[in-house]
Chain A
Amino acid sequence: MATSSLLPHSLLSLPTASSRFPKTSLPISSISLSLNQISISRSGSVAFQPLVRRGRDSTFGIARAGETGKEETPAETGGDEGSSESVEEESSVAVAVEEKPPKKPIVKLNEIIGILNKKFIEEAEIIKPVPDIRPGDIVEIKKQKANRRRLALYKGIVISKSSAGVHTTIRIRYMTSGTAVEIVFPVYSPTIKEIKVVSHRDVRRAKLFYLREKLPRFYTFKK
């Protein structure tokens, strides 16, 4: 309540300031005003004051005028320290009494990629649920090709899975027309319309690159 009551006062003080200072500085002052008010509501402590004092002189004067709610000229800032501080204490006490908005958890810089990846995966999962894929699974993938209406179908064995958030890829190996093909598919890509695990083969490895040297019948599947 105290902060809201401060607002109309601050608005009243602005026109007096504008008569002294050119109009171009108004946007700056209003921003600094709002910043200061936010800072008060957050911390509610007088400790923030030292930071404010380091601001530019012109804006500093106007801001302090807004806080105190008194119509005082910027020139009298020095003399009014005692009275302004008491008013700030009042405002801080009043703020502490009323409900503080729940503190948002501060996002650390090194967590941003993880959060973004989770968001992208969630969005992709809504459109198309992706099953749990392990190396050794025999999967059928339906993929949309550019400028084609019919979906391309790929059926093969997963020989490796690379987990990298939204760019999780699986490598499929299959045999067609006498030649073996390996394709890397990004699992959460919108071009992949459906992934279905058809069956599973028991393997004791995470990466089945040994299949390249094995007989073709191990990676040949009838569609």
Chain B
Amino acid sequence: MAARFLSKSSSGCSLLGALGTTLVGVGSVARETTSKLNYSDIFFQQQRTFVQMGTNLKVVDNSGAKRVMCIQALKSKKGAKLGDIIIGSVKEAQPRGKVKKGDVVYGVVVRAAMQRGRCDGSHVRFDDNAVVVVNKQGEPIGTRVFGPVPHELRKKKHVKILALAEHIA
């Protein structure tokens, strides 16, 4: 949090907050970009990008894992967005769970800090990056899902996760 305050970075597209990271040329910069055009120092906006290799994600089901680090985003060179599947390595796990620390698991990104555009012109973004551990077929390993999930998952055919969810954003 403190680091965010210290680094005054204004995104190049701070004019419209809705634009994603398409204007960010460097794909490896995950969180903050150094401003090329300093429109205003008041803008503390962070430039959110994709979920890519090295991204730490929170696990929001009761499969046993707590934190997962993304090692591969399937289906995209740039990275995973909301609703995509990633391969992750479990970094932190609960003592008695279905997955252990060091396991390589598949996960569905259910919350992403990067905006996802919908076909009606609206955009949705969450405050954190979260994932639900699934098996290769796409079915969740856990039996409960915590927190809101977007209804982008319906189009991606992750119907089981939607059924378990508390709230659909």
Contact = CB atoms under 8 A, between A and B. Distances in A.
A9 interface: no
Contacts of B151: 145
Interface of A: 145, 160, 162, 167, 169, 171, 176-186, 189, 191, 209-210, 212-213
B146 A177 contact: yes
Contacts of A176: 147-148, 167, 169
A176 B128 CA distance: 13
Contacts of A180: 126-127
Given A176-B167, A177-B167, A209-B44, A171 B17 contact: yes
Interface string B63-78: 0000000000000000
Given A186-B120, A209-B44, A209-B45, A181 B125 contact: yes
Given A183-B123, A213-B1, A177 B18 contact: no
A183 B44 contact: no
B6 interface: no
A183 B122 contact: yes
A185 B122 contact: yes
A202 to B, nearest CB: 19
A189 B128 CA distance: 28
Contacts of A191: 120
5 contacts: A162-B17, A181-B148, A182-B125, A184-B124, A191-B120
Interface of B: 1, 4-5, 16-18, 43-45, 111, 115, 120-128, 130, 146-148, 151, 166-167, 169
A186 B1 contact: no
Contacts of B127: 179-182, 212
Contact of A182 (B121, B124, B147): B124
Given A162-B18, A181-B127, 19 more contacts: A145-B151, A176-B148, A176-B169, A177-B147, A178-B147, A179-B130, A179-B147, A179-B148, A180-B126, A180-B127, A181-B124, A181-B126, A182-B125, A183-B123, A183-B169, A184-B17, A209-B17, A210-B44, A213-B5
Contacts of B124: 181-184
Nearest to A179: B147
A209 B124 CA distance: 15
A220 to B, nearest CB: 13
Contacts of A169: 18, 121-122
Nearest to A144: B120
B151 to A, nearest CB: 7
B155 to A, nearest CB: 9
A169 B115 CA distance: 15
Contact of B17 (A145, A160, A177, A186): A160
B7 to A, nearest CB: 13
Given A160-B17, A162-B17, A177 B148 contact: yes
A177 B16 CA distance: 28
